[in-house]
């Protein structure tokens, strides 16, 4: 028994199990962190949503809701994972680049002092 635990025989040797855990975990995290707040409001209009691509606030809101809310759940189910993952990545990259200006953590941002 101890030899089996030390040799890690209980860990599946297939990469399919690891890809399943990665797909389901990433999809649920994306949905719970970003999608739930968009889907739970049940509206297609958000006048305070940022518009970095100048396509309109409501259009950007709907595209973000599709990406974070709908596509993340479809990724968890395994439907069109490659294309939907690309769409989700593109949406998150646009938000990270144009809205958050490539910041990782807010507290690491250097404060500016007005002189």
- Classify 102 as helix, strand or coil: coil
Contact 95, 65 (CB under 8 A): no
Q: How does residue 37 score in pLDDT terms, banded at 50, 70 and 90? A: confident
The string of pLDDT tens digits covering residues 55-97 is: 988 888 889 999 999 999 999 999 999 999 999 999 999 988 9
Distance CA 7, CA 54 (A): 56
Distance CA 88, CA 64 (A): 9
pTM of the model: 0.73
């Amino acid at each position: 028994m101890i030899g089996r635990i030390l040799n890690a025989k209980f860990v599946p040797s297939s990469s399919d199990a690891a890809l399943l855990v990665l797909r389901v975990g990433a999809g649920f995290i994306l949905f719970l962190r970003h999608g739930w707040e968009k889907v739970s409001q049940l509206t297609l209009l958000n006048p305070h949503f940022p518009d970095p691509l100048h396509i309109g606030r409501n259009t950007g809101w709907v595209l973000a809701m599709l990406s974070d809310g709908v596509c993340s759940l479809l990724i968890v189910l395994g439907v069109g994972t490659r294309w939907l993952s690309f769409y989700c990545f593109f949406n998150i990259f646009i938000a990270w680049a144009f809205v958050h200006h490539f910041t990782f953590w807010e507290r690491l941002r250097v404060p500016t002092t007005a002189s």
